[in-house]
């Protein structure tokens, strides 16, 4: 059924902030679930600014990075590597599962979980584009 979630413990094995093919700044996190791997990210951290004629950073992008770091309980992006985290995945229409929540286990100090759906509701306009 669509909308069902499952919760699994995984380890972060990859964490990058980089430009993708079209010059959009994104972040990527790779998880190892002990036999299977899955990636999370590719959400835009910047947007095109017509006045500047270049891509500029957004508050939404900054909140994405801060949200992930707060959820994992780290002080720097590279510190994500090797951390165990709880992941909630939501089943999509095509049967694949999309990562929607990241949160550190209770034994590691962290301030809150990061729910990408909440981030999207707050930072995405009705046109689907990230707000500046």
For the question of whether the overall pTM of this predicted structure is more than 0.95, the answer is no
- 2 falls in which pLDDT band (50, 70, 90)? low
SS3 99: strand
- Residues 58-114: tens digit of each pLDDT: 999 999 999 999 999 999 999 999 999 999 999 877 777 899 999 999 999 999 999
Tokens representing 52 are 């500047």
- Residues 68-83: tens digit of each pLDDT: 999 999 999 999 999 9
């Amino acid at each position: 059924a669509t909308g069902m979630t499952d919760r699994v413990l995984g380890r972060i094995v990859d964490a990058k902030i980089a430009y993708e093919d079209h010059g959009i700044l994104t972040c990527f996190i790779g998880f190892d679930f002990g036999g299977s791997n899955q990636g999370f990210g590719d959400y835009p951290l910047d947007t095109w600014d017509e006045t500047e004629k270049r891509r500029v950073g957004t508050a939404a992008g900054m909140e994405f990075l801060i949200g992930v770091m707060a959820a994992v309980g780290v002080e720097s992006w590279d510190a994500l590597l090797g951390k165990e985290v709880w992941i909630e995945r939501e089943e999509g229409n095509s049967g694949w599962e999309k990562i929607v929540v990241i949160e550190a286990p209770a034994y590691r100090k962290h301030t809150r979980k990061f729910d990408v759906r909440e981030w999207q509701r707050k930072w995405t306009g009705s046109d689907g584009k990230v707000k500046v």
